[in-house]
Structure 1
Amino acid sequence: MKIFPCFLVMATLLLVSAVELKKRNNHMNNFHQHFEIYNPKGLTVWYPKSPETVEFGVAVLLNPSPNSHIHHCYVCLNTTTASYGKFIIHDDNAVIRPKDYLEYQLSFRDSRGRISIEKGEFYVAGNRIFHRQEPCSSTTNTSTTKVELPRAASLQENINLLENIVNDVFHRCNNVTEISKNLYLNFRPAPNLDPRKLYEFTLNELQTMLPTINWNNALVHTFYYNDGVGFEVKNHIDKLKVLKLSRDFNRSAIRDWDDLEQSMNTSDNNEDYNDVFSSDSILP
């Protein structure tokens, strides 16, 4: 009579073990979309920036022991800087291999100081690791070897060069006296906002509209203009980039402030011309 209960207990244990094994196997092939792991070393964790989030943090446990209550954080970093609409955290010294087990915790702090947490875990799949090319060995004397600039500095040099090229093109154009860095946002804000609130309103609208642009760095100044908002960007490259990207979003949402000014001036001149040559002013 005791055989059936024993059999039932064993069947239950086997079923639980099978479910757990299947779960672990699924985790083996899982790879969190916001993690980029590099070989031989390096880890990047990114997350899209929302308008209300001001700080992003990540804590990673590497192969934590299930029997230990004390775990050492393998990567613990945070940032308040967003680039191209994303928070990006790098650890160039993290060494992670295929089949490693990662537990992670992502934290988000908003402008009111509230913190939200997102937790997860996964096993690292070997086919999802990015391979970095090892630098080639060189026999060149170290005294004559040029030190390569960091990637960020190199990019900034290219931006400065493009900015100078654009400025030269602008100055060589005929009938162009000055090209501003201003644009026009065709969104009507609340009236009588102070400069800070008008800036925040414009910043939120632009971040929602074109999140790939780092508006915290690009947006310089805002001001009321007609029924919308005029805003100044950092340089002419930013202005051309905004105009290009806004065409895919909504062609009339963002316009060149210089074109509107020229149009208004032309309209005013036409009105003056019509006043001078109106029928009432013609002598009989």
Structure 2
Amino acid sequence: MDRTHSEQRRLALDGLTAALALSGWVALGSFVLAVANSQSDDGLGEHPVRRITLGVLLLGFFVFALWKRRAVWAALTRRPELVVVLAAAQIAAVAADEVVGGAYVAVSLTSLGLAVLAADDRLVWACVAVLEVGFVVGLLSRYSLAELADDGELGGVVSSIVKFPVVAFMLLAIRRLFNRFSDGAGEMLMLLRAGAPALTPALDQAVASRGAPLLLGPGEPQPIVIDLTPAEVRAVEGLAAGRAPKQIAFDQGVTLATIRTHLKHAKRKTGARTLRELAAFVARPDWPRVTR
């Protein structure tokens, strides 16, 4: 009994932590947008002290959210309905700050995005309903339809109302598509692996016919096609004959730096890690057909 009570209390504390932290994340964006959208001369609206105080509190919430980000995600995975509660809390916070319009929509869509990440479809649409009701109630508590019509704001209001279900539908569709791909990814990988032996020779031939470089893994029966220049081929063959780079440069009448550059490019193209591994390519019986 004590363990159950302790577990319930821990879940409640995790939920409170998640609500406070997520409120800090979202409400800070609301405050920034509110200040940016302010049309008053002082840039902070009619109550600058109140707005500055609110900004300091929201900054504290933001720091708290960074500190408790692991607990936030853990709480959301256990109690996704917290997202709906968060949306309602954001409605109250925005209404208290007298922010209606772009800032409200930004805050609400953030809450909706959190719901899509952590909740099932029913809770997502419940979140949409809460956002719609909160938006309409908050708007009508400050303006009448006549005032909105006179100011030419009805179109923006309708657009804001339509945004919530449209964005929810889009995000849920993306989530379903992602889930379908994730569920079928294992089967798709098995099919690709099963068909690889039949597809590899045709792919090798198609790539080789275009003269492009193609490196196959060890044990493949097809020849490895490497895009080496004639100068690089001569440098590698000189190396395989037991000559040092300085001797190769003297024999070919070029500088030592040129030979070193050719060998460096040949190592990169062949995947050889050392000069000995690079020289081993010349020992292959199909060396004339290996390079292009």
Greater share of helix residues, 1 or 2? 2
Give the TM-score normalised by structure 2. 0.22
More RCO (CA 8 Å, sep 6+): 1
Return the index of the structure with the highest Cα Rg: 2
Greater share of strand residues, 1 or 2? 1
Give the TM-score normalised by structure 1. 0.22
